[in-house]
Structures are given as C-alpha cells and as structure tokens.
Amino acid sequence: MPASLDNRLVVAISSRALFDFEQENQVFEDGDDRAYMDLQLKLLDQPAAHGVAFSLVQKLLDFNRGAQPLVEVVILSRNDPASGLRVFRSAQHYGLGIERGAFTRGASPWRYLRPLGAHLFLSANEADVRQALAAGVPAARVLPQAARASAAHPTELRIAFDGDAVLFSDESEQVFQRGGLQAFQDHEVEQAQTPLAAGPFKPLLDALHRLRASAEDTGMTLRTALVTARGSPAHERAIRTLMAWGVEIDEAFFLGGLTKGPFLREFEPDFFFDDQTGHVEGAAPHVPSGHVAAGVSNLVPVPPRNISGTSWPDPPESVRFQYQEGAEGADRS
C-alpha cells in the first residue's frame, strides 16, 4: 500500500527558511551555480545554523511523539539535488524527522505543493510565495534576518497571525484604503454580525485547530494569537468571525494602530504572519516573521494564470491577482 500524508498537517519549507544559508546563497546570487554546489558539498559535514523557521518546524515535528504521526514537513527547495545532501544531513544532525524533499535546481518548486496537499509553504523567494498563494496554498516569505524564536516554551508551539488579508479576507482593508479610518470603523460596526470571508491562512488555522484536538498524547500544546491593528469597535466583527468558524484563538491583541513588535516580543511566537511589509519588518527584530503577499496592499498589475488540469479550489478573491506568469526569483531558496 502506498504511503499517504492524509490526516497530517503538511508543511513545505525551503532550505533557506529552515537553515541559515545566507552566506552560501550569496555565492549563488553572484551568478556561480557550480561554485554554490561545490561549497555546499565542501560543507557537507558542517551542520547549517538554525534558520528563521527552525523552531516552528522543530515544534511541529514534536507533535509526532504520540501514537500517530500528525505532522509532515517536506523540504521544497530551489537547491540542486547535490546541495540537498547538506540540507538532509543538517536535519538529521538536529534530530528533525524529515524524510521527504524536492530539489529543483533553480526552477520554481511551487507546483509540487499540490501533490503534497500542503497546508503551509515557507520560502525566502517572493515569486514562489506569490505563486503558492495564487494557487490557494497558505504561504509566506520568511525574512532570513529576523530574530530566532525564544527557547522559553519548549513544549508549546506559539503562532501569531494578523487578521485582515491573512486570516480574514481583505474586504475591510479595501474599505479603509478607499475611505480612511472613519469609513472603516462605520463599515465594521454596520457589519459586526456578518462574518468576514476567509483569508488565505484560514486553511492553516483550521489545520492547527485539528492538530490541537489530536495532540493529547504528544506532550505538546498549541497557543495562537490574533495580532491586529484593529481596535474597538472594529474588534467585534473579528471575534464574531472566529466564533462563527468554530476555531479557537488563545490570545487577541486589538492594537488600534500601535506598533506590533513589542507585543509580539512578549508573546514570543515561533512565527508571526502579516500582509503588511511595515508590520513584518517591525516585528522581525523581535520574533520570526513572514510576509503574506495577499490582499490589496500587495496588489500587482498582472492577472493570475488559469491553472488548467488541476482539481484545486479557486483561491480566495484576496489573493487571486498575486500570480505572476514566469516570475523567477534570483535567489536559491
């Protein structure tokens, strides 16, 4: 009987998101693909340092300590197969239970998210992230220079999400950009009883909700937070939306425009997701952070390609415009 990833939370991650390959990647960006491969082979027995998403992956894999495996992490990388040897060797050094990977030698790897059934894709490559989002897969561009996660909560996975254009659609953000703060507040009060449409990270939130319910014998717990620039009275619609979805959020921060970074520093997440580059860059000195290139704030003028021959559902309206035909980032991710 063939192996199956059914009933698991599946995370696809690039090598640069999991490990610190920034010095090696500079060789690739200088245009010498062969020198990059030779350098990785030369360093084969030297474990790579932790990357920005290392703690997230390590704790997710710790949920497999119970009777049944609950999480699958797969390397999905623009690295060449030979350089992939060091990726797997480094994972083994740290005791990460990763056995699957796809290495595409510079080609965009996002198409392989479909056969994996991925619930999350993390990469340092902007084009790959946009393509994944356009296909309906929760995805974020990690900031390799971001702070590493705190070691204060070894048996608790902590994840923080922005609201609009991440967990929720960007409907309200569009109102804000068209009419300003007062128009936004009036709209949210008027629509307080109407749940927001799902945003690009709703499938991940659902998968985490299922993981929480199945983790009793793993020794691991999950703690989530909503960290949003909304304030009262616009907070009510966000809370009622989560209640309507039947999804638990442990903490909620309605900051009314205050800087998110100091609050995230105190929450100590293993990862934070936001669609606003300013919020992500403000959080990065404090916590591992990723940019979700979705919604009106990340609008690009190129329409999505029609992905024929797939059975994927249409992506959320808030990210359908994100695909850029033929976009190839320069970095080795």
SS3 120: strand
Active site residues: 162
Q: Do 170 and 83 sit in the same domain of this protein?
A: no
pLDDT tens digits, residue range 286-301?
Answer: 999 999 999 888 886 5
pTM of the model: 0.88
Give the pLDDT band of residue 27 (cuts 50, 70, 90): confident
Q: What is the pLDDT of residues 237-278, one digit of tens each?
A: 999 999 999 998 999 999 999 999 999 999 999 999 999 999
Query: Quick check: 77 pLDDT over 60?
Result: yes
Q: What is the CATH number of the domain that holds 241?
A: 3.40.50.1000
Q: What is the structure's pLDDT at 30?
A: 65
Does residue 233 have a cis peptide bond before it, meaning omega lies within 30 degrees of 0? Answer: yes
Quote the number of domains for the chain: 2
**One-character DSSP codes across 252-316:** EEE-TT--SHHHHHHH--SEEEES-HHHHHHHTTTS-EEE---SGGG--SSPPP--TT--PPPPP
Mean pLDDT (whole number) for 304-324: 43
The CATH number of the domain where 39 resides is what? Answer: 3.40.50
End residue of a domain, out of 94, 117, 142: 142
- DSSP letter, residue 149: P
Residues 187 and 243 both lie in one domain = yes
Last residue of a domain, one of 92, 114, 142: 142
